[in-house]
Amino acid sequence: MYSFTEENYIKAIFKLQEKSNNAVNTNSIAELMETKPASVTDMVKKLSEKKLLIYEKYKGVELTESGRIMAIEMVRKHRLWETFLHNKLNFSWDEVHDIAEQLEHIKSSKLIDSLDEYLGFPQHDPHGDPIPAKNGSIKRIELFKISEFSIGDFGIISGVVNHTSLFLQHLEKNQLVLGNEIEVVSRSEFDLSLRVKIEGKAPIMVSNEVARNVLLKKIVK
Amino acid sequence: MYSFTEENYIKAIFKLQEKSNNAVNTNSIAELMETKPASVTDMVKKLSEKKLLIYEKYKGVELTESGRIMAIEMVRKHRLWETFLHNKLNFSWDEVHDIAEQLEHIKSSKLIDSLDEYLGFPQHDPHGDPIPAKNGSIKRIELFKISEFSIGDFGIISGVVNHTSLFLQHLEKNQLVLGNEIEVVSRSEFDLSLRVKIEGKAPIMVSNEVARNVLLKKIVK
DNA sequence: ACAAAATTTTAGATTAGTCTAAAATTATTT
DNA sequence: AAATAATTTTAGACTAATCTAAAATTTTGT
Ligand SMILES: [Mn+2]
Ligand SMILES: [Mn+2]
Ligand SMILES: [Mn+2]
Ligand SMILES: [Mn+2]
């Protein structure tokens, strides 16, 4: 049985591994875990003894197959709990993450599989992130930032890059919520802000900062 | 914020206080917590500094008002989670306790109140135990052990004394489940076993051991 | 290539929770 | 009212996870 701390390290290393492809370095783990590099070194030594990752002094770490399986299980639990909170208990998408951070550590595979079934085997969590299946498979679909869209392109809001409450609340206020269809109408050369039209509503202005943090599924009309 | 360990101590002390009325002694806490008396002494000192209980050397402990409030919150969480597992995820009554032991430590009052509402403000958990309300009030009703019943008495199974999986599974196999109405038909002088009739079913034999661990609400016919 | 900077590791301390063994106190028996 | 037994506390040690400060190693810049 692994401790909460060990589970959090594995999850953090997995997240870092996802975006970088190279070995994950000590400092980046420390930053994500909000801890000190010295503590990270201690922990990766321990996780390496437990065969969850490969650690080479001064060279960073890489998850083993069992480390990866464990990380995906954590992600599955986290996202299923977020979905439960959102779909069943009516929590808004900016409220679910912190509680899921706690719930993801509950040890019971029967519980998580029952929850999955109870929720109707959801494919995505309240932020649009894919929920790994029981067998570990993750269905990824290609998404694009609004900022990458051309004038006249249509898309459906399907994910976010930034997951902070502040950002999610901002999106909600501006109708930029999951599932809404939008069209990019124009782009300002000055600040790269965009005018976008949300189906059926009056066009709104979207800053470049926002446009770089909202993900769309492209649709052809 | 309190640690899981601190929360478990408070819950244990509350449970012991419920049945004894006197101050709770070190050894009984150690036994219930499956730890050593020396560890208990250390912990009660700490909890006493945090004003959750009154500790007097060699005299045992007693929860303060805030300790009692915290204990009741823990009980509320535990029983609501058990109810969720049973009512929504179809866990049987012998499977819910261990998982609730983990879930009761999730810190979010919004979560627990939402869960309460989602479950329809249940009054009892899957074992018949009362679920404390948000304000801490607990509705207790008078229950009697089957063994205390006289021949010809009627009652509805409304609780259990023993909460072990083994016992609960045994009850389930013998139709002795919550809500069933039973009548005590006869008592053997030899081993104090009883013949009881479960409404609509053939009479069964109930050992004294079982009869002392099943609680009934008396009904007058 | 080599000095300076950045990163990483080690050494030694700290805190929470636990343990064993010994000492202190309280309760029970004679 | 002692003596004995049971309970409780103290002292000192251990593990997990963390920290700071110093040492080691790697990377970067000239
Ligand atoms: Mn999340
Ligand atoms: Mn999410
Ligand atoms: Mn229980
Ligand atoms: Mn219960």
Nearest CA in chain B to A106: B102
Distance from CA of B94 to the nearest CA of A (A): 14
Chosen from A3, A88, A165 to mutate, greatest number of chain B CBs within 10 A: A88
Question: How confident is the model over A81-97, as a mean pLDDT?
Answer: 98
Question: Which chain B positions have a beta carbon within 8 Å of A88's beta carbon?
Answer: 118
What is the pLDDT, as a whole number, of residue A221? 80
Backbone angles phi, psi at A10, to 5 degrees: -60, -45
Query: Cβ of residue B43 near strand C, that is under 7 Å?
Result: yes
Closest protein CA to C1' of nucleotide C21, residue:
B38
* Residue whose entry in the numeric block shows the structure tokens 């502040």: A166
Q: How far is the CA of B14 from the C1' of D4 (A)?
A: 33
Residues of B in contact with A114 (CB under 8 A): 89-91
State the pLDDT confidence band at B200, using cuts at 50, 70 and 90: confident
Q: Is-contact A215 A143, C-beta < 8 A? A: yes
- What does the alpha-carbon distance between residue A164 and residue A131 come to, in Å, rounded to a whole number? 19
Q: pLDDT grade, residue A156 (50/70/90)?
A: very high
- What's at A20, amino acid-wise? S
Interface subset of B 38-97, CB within 8 angstroms of A: 85, 88-91, 95
Distance CA(A108)–CA(A8), nearest Å, equals 17
Mean pLDDT, to the nearest integer, of A149-160?
A: 97
pTM (two decimals): 0.95
Give yes or no for B99 touching A (CB within 8 A): yes
C-beta separation of A103 from A115 below 8 A: no
Nearest C-alpha of chain A: how many angstroms from B25? 31
* Structure tokens belonging to residue B131: 């679920």
Q: What span, in angstroms and rounded, lies between the C-alpha atoms of A40 and A26?
A: 6
pLDDT band at residue B39 under the 50/70/90 scheme:
very high
Our CA-based measurement puts residue A55 at a distance from the nearest CA of chain B, in whole angstroms, of 31
Kindly determine whether the C-beta of residue B26 is less than 7 Å away from any atom of nucleic acid strand D.
yes
DSSP chain B: ---HHHHHHHHHHHHHHHHH-SPBPHHHHHHHHTS-HHHHHHHHHHHHHTTSEEEETTTEEEE-HHHHHHHHHHHHHHHHHHHHHHHTT---TTTHHHHHHHHTT---HHHHHHHHHHTT--SB-TTSPBPPPTTS-------EEGGGPPTT-EEEEEEES---HHHHHHHHHTT--TT-EEEEEEE-TTT--EEEEETTS--EEE-HHHHTTEEEEEE--
Q: Of chain B residues 44-103, which have a beta carbon within 7 Å of strand D?
A: 44-45, 55, 57-60
B112 contacts in A (CB within 8 Å)? Answer: none
How does the average pLDDT of chain A come out, rounded? 97
Query: Chain B contacts of A103, Cβ < 8 Å?
Result: 103, 106
Facing B99 at nearest CB: one of A88, A89, A111:
A111
State the average pLDDT over residues B3-10.
98
Task: Evaluate whether A46 touches A61 at the Cβ level (below 8 Å).
Answer: no
Average pLDDT of span B130-145: 97
Closest residue by Cα to residue A139 from A155, A149, A126, A125: A125
- B55-63 average pLDDT score: 97
Contact between residue B196 and residue B204 where contact means Cβ atoms under 8 Å apart? yes
Ordered by where they begin, the domains of chain A are 4-63 (1.10.10.10), 144-219 (2.30.30.90)
Residue A20's pLDDT is 85
User: Taking residues B143-158, what's their average pLDDT?
Assistant: 97
What digits encode the pLDDT tens for the residues B89-120? 999 999 999 999 999 999 999 999 999 999 99
Q: Write out which nucleotides of chain C lie closer than 7 A to a protein Cβ.
A: 7-12, 16-22, 25-26
Mean pLDDT of A151-169: 97
Q: Is B4 on the interface with A (CB under 8 A)?
A: no
